[in-house]
Structure 1
Amino acid sequence: MTDFGKTLSATPTPIDGLVVFDLPVHGDARGWFKENWQREKMTALGLADFGPVQNNISFNDAAGTTRGIHAEPWDKWVSVATGRIFGAWVDLREGPGFGTVFTAEIDPSRAIFVPRGVGNAYQTLEPDTAYTYLVNDHWSPDADYSFLNLADETAAIAWPIPLSEVEISAKDRAHPRLSDVTPVPPRRVLVVGADGQLGRALRQSYGTAPGVDFATRADLDLTSPGLSDARRWRDYGTIINAAAYTRVDEAETAVGRRGAWAANVAGVSALARIAAAHGITLVHVSSDYVFDGAADAPYREDDPLCPVGVYGQTKAAADAIVATVPRHYIVRTSWVIGEGKNFVDTMARLADNGVNPAVVSDQIGRLTFTEDIARGIRHLLDSGAAYGVYNLTGDGEPMSWADVATAVFAGAGHDPDRVRPVSTAEYFADAAGPIAPRPAYSVLDLSKIIATGFTPADAAAALRARGNR
């Protein structure tokens, strides 16, 4: 019999993420009414905003009908419309919780949220039971499923009606024992732009870790109209977007402008739509160029954007788009140095070749090495830091590009006075093509990411370490 008069509440279970909800049911002589799924109220109680896309109902004629144990690659909200069930859930996910069992009776006044990878089964306790569930993905023959035998001795589920006396499908009877079950892996990580400087650093950071995919532009074109069908996106839990158009001067030309907007805005917009639709965490790398450089104190994450060039405008537009994704990290960095052509290696080569370079001295910022960006991104993901914008650069005393160059010369055993400091205007005085405006001041405030437990590398120390390799 349905329990009337409950207060909406959530109760955790021994299985991580499996949560039982008591539902208020209002009844009179005509019958009863309940809010079976109410997004605002239930997310306020801590339920993941799991984005259901399909509602299924399984009607069961007789008491004792038994189905399961099935673990699917999506989340489920399980309840009953009529009747009553004995439900059994077994954690079939990779990890320390594998094999944990929870059982409960569910009537119209109770529901349960079943996270991806947790095996689900039930036995009807009354005839004419309507078992209903919301799921956040559509069934697909290409999806990976896992199953457990209803009679598994390790799980030892105490079925109210013995399995020998109930209706079970031949397929459910043939499912494996727990020792033979293939655990459900976590949702995968996809690194986009894996052939760029940051992409290569992320490859190095993740190494051969299982569940991490790397995609170059040849593998995955973000501007392709078929992007939404390019992968089974529900299998991914995180996308790290390390792809970008970064040729800031070329972006001021007609051809470059189109390329910058295509890669930095249209491509990011497509990723954002996919992330929002499939509950994916989107990590996007932003830039100090979203600011005009006119500040006299380090820029905070919530300072208003004010880009002065095309590249900065595309990055600012992308930030605004990514901020609409429910699960997002915008990682704002500056003066990036990684594997491949970069300022530090260029200065070292000039020093060795006897060249005395003119280097800009009126742009102030901090170097950021790609391995530290990769480390910071992984910290945000692994620590479960609050979603939002985070500044992530090297720490320490701000420097000019000329300061960096002299440090490189000195570190390589050359006379640092060979570096000739010049203004930005002097440096570009004889430039042949369009020159993008640069922020004169690019120092970013790091207190927010430090508060999450991350320690940014000291930029000067990292520069010295790089020179000693």
Structure 2
Amino acid sequence: MTVTEYGKQLFVTETSIPGLVVFDLPVHGDARGWFKENWQREKMTALGLADFGPVQNNISFNDAVGTTRGIHAEPWDKWVSVATGRIFGAWVDLREGPSFGAVFTTELDPSRAIFVPRGVGNSYQTLEPDTAYTYLVNDHWSPDAAYSFLNLADETAAIDWPIPLSDVEISPKDLAHPRLAEVIPIPPKKILVLGANGQLGRALRAEYGDAPHVEYTDRTELDITAPGLADARRWRDYGTIINAAAYTKVDAAETPEGRREAWAGNVAGVAALARVATANGITLVHVSSDYVFDGTLGRPYREDDPVAPLGVYGQTKAAADAAVATVPRHYIVRTSWVIGEGNNFARTMASLAERGINPKVVDDQTGRLTFTDDIARGIRHLLETGAPCGTYNLTGTGDPQTWADIARQVFELTGHDPARITGVTTDEYFATATTPIAPRPRNSVLDLSKIEGTGWQSAASAEKLVTYGGRVTS
């Protein structure tokens, strides 16, 4: 390395392959030698590099000029640099998608490094003797991992090797790799949907469909409260876990048995998920509730308002939020008054109307309906737009309503007289209850400014109920 390469500023250069980024590194040297910060998490993530969590450091020492290795695409990210010597590097995108087959080449010496995202094929040719090629990776080698390979001489990639491949040392394995037309692309990391048979789970199924990288499971297949969760999957193959499962029996949670079940499913299980996500660099999406608030605030609740749950269910959801917030990459999606396929408030009101029953409905709780298909679309929006991690309120929009307002709207939509609804207070409604009743927040209106700032727009609750009206009796 020449003296003129000393003293460069830390600098980032994007490449023609998405996510493949070259870094110029400051190297400090004198007559004794040189020093550099080969990997500095705080500085490099500040420049936009993913906090990829390396777990292993490897070094490949190459004796002779012209040693050529690759093209290997592994299911993990790499931080590649040169400790001594110089290489010509070639990278080929072997991931599923529009950039499949894209090629980037450059030289690396101790003053340059490159971040190689999962699924991008990596190869190099040494240009100086005694070259030490180093790389940090964020997973341990596994025989069960999915790899992909490309022949160094592939005509489509058409890499212009400085030294002809006929004149260099290549392993028999590398010589036998397939051409691009025969390469099996590396799929994206998996998305695991928990609670896939519940109301939100079914909406997520409809949203993601049969995409091969999306896996759906329920408690019979994966119980997050059971021992052994950490070894239940090869978790490094997963990029996202969407937790659509929860204990939601608000009143039953006030009983001794229900309290135990609520804390097991909503807290202990979620805490175990959080540990798995943290250990494996997974994005954890968790669905929370307006019940984490006491409902006494005179305005819509923001994401940063202090939680103050009134009952056991709300306490477990608040505790789960705290556990999920420890995961480096997380989304807590806080919602309220959920309506989805299956039993729900709208269908109950439609059934009462059809049977000639004139119900008493609570009119001192205020909020907005949220439809499960909107929650599913909102979750996908946060993930695919790369919105900053954190907590987001996600409900329907429009003027807040009471439960009695919504009941009257359902009666009207189904051709019945809305005047048949009698509004009562929460205390009046539950006055004759013989089993424990959970306290309800009176104000469940959530401020949507934060998620709307990401470009998301929910449907208006009242208008969505109109389009949903044809299904409330089905």
CA distance in 2, matches of 1:218, 1:236: 20
Q: Which residue of 1 aligns with 2:436?
A: 434
* Aligned pair partner of 2:155 in 127, 134, 153: 153
Q: Which residue of 2 aligns with 1:393?
A: 395
1:236 equivalenced with 2:247 (yes/no): no
1:445 equivalenced with 2:430 (yes/no): no
Following superposition of structure 1 onto structure 2, how do residues 192-341 of structure 1 map, counting pairs within 5 Å? 192-341=194-343
Q: Quick one: which amino acid aligns to residue 63 of structure 1?
A: V
Q: Which residue of 1 aligns with 2:143?
A: 141
Q: Which residue of 2 aligns with 1:376?
A: 378
CA distance in 2, matches of 1:411, 1:96: 46
CA distance in 2, matches of 1:221, 1:380: 26
CA distance in 2, matches of 1:57, 1:225: 37
Q: Provide the aligned length of Structure 1 versus Structure 2.
A: 469
Following superposition of structure 1 onto structure 2, how do residues 72-111 of structure 1 map, counting pairs within 5 Å? 72-111=74-113
CA distance in 2, matches of 1:129, 1:4: 19
CA distance in 2, matches of 1:411, 1:22: 64
* CA displacement 1:265-291 (0-9 Å, x = unmatched): 111111112222222221111100010
CA distance in 1, matches of 2:69, 2:284: 36
Q: Which residue of 1 aligns with 2:45?
A: 43
1:350 equivalenced with 2:339 (yes/no): no
Q: Which residue of 2 aligns with 1:467?
A: 469
Q: Which residue of 2 aligns with 1:174?
A: 176
SS in structure 1 at match of 2:301: coil
CA distance in 1, matches of 2:50, 2:207: 29
CA distance in 2, matches of 1:383, 1:235: 21
TM-score by length of 2: 0.97
CA distance in 1, matches of 2:373, 2:26: 52
Q: What is the Cα deviation at residue 87 of structure 1?
A: 0.9
**Percent same amino acid at aligned positions?**
77
CA distance in 2, matches of 1:463, 1:152: 57
SS in structure 1 at match of 2:60: strand
CA distance in 2, matches of 1:9, 1:450: 33
SS in structure 1 at match of 2:320: helix
* Aligned pair partner of 1:114 in 105, 116, 119: 116
CA distance in 2, matches of 1:399, 1:4: 66
Q: What is the Cα deviation at residue 28 of structure 1?
A: 2.6
SS in structure 2 at match of 1:377: helix
Structure 1: unaligned runs, 5 residues or longer: none
Q: What is the Cα deviation at residue 383 of structure 1?
A: 2.0
Q: What is the Cα deviation at residue 223 of structure 1?
A: 1.2
Q: What is the Cα deviation at residue 327 of structure 1?
A: 1.6
CA distance in 2, matches of 1:78, 1:25: 16
CA distance in 2, matches of 1:409, 1:326: 46
Q: What is the Cα deviation at residue 262 of structure 1?
A: 1.1
Q: Which residue of 2 aligns with 1:189?
A: 191
SS in structure 2 at match of 1:87: strand
Q: What is the Cα deviation at residue 419 of structure 1?
A: 1.8
Q: What is the Cα deviation at residue 417 of structure 1?
A: 2.0
Structure 2: unaligned runs, 5 residues or longer: none
Q: What is the Cα deviation at residue 261 of structure 1?
A: 1.1
* CA displacement 1:232-271 (0-9 Å, x = unmatched): 1121111111011111111111111111111111111111
Q: Which residue of 2 aligns with 1:403?
A: 405
SS in structure 1 at match of 2:410: helix
TM-score by length of 1: 0.98
1:59 equivalenced with 2:82 (yes/no): no
Greater mean deviation of Cα atoms: 66-75 or 423-432: 423-432
Q: Quick one: which amino acid aligns to residue 56 of structure 1?
A: N
CA distance in 1, matches of 2:467, 2:25: 60
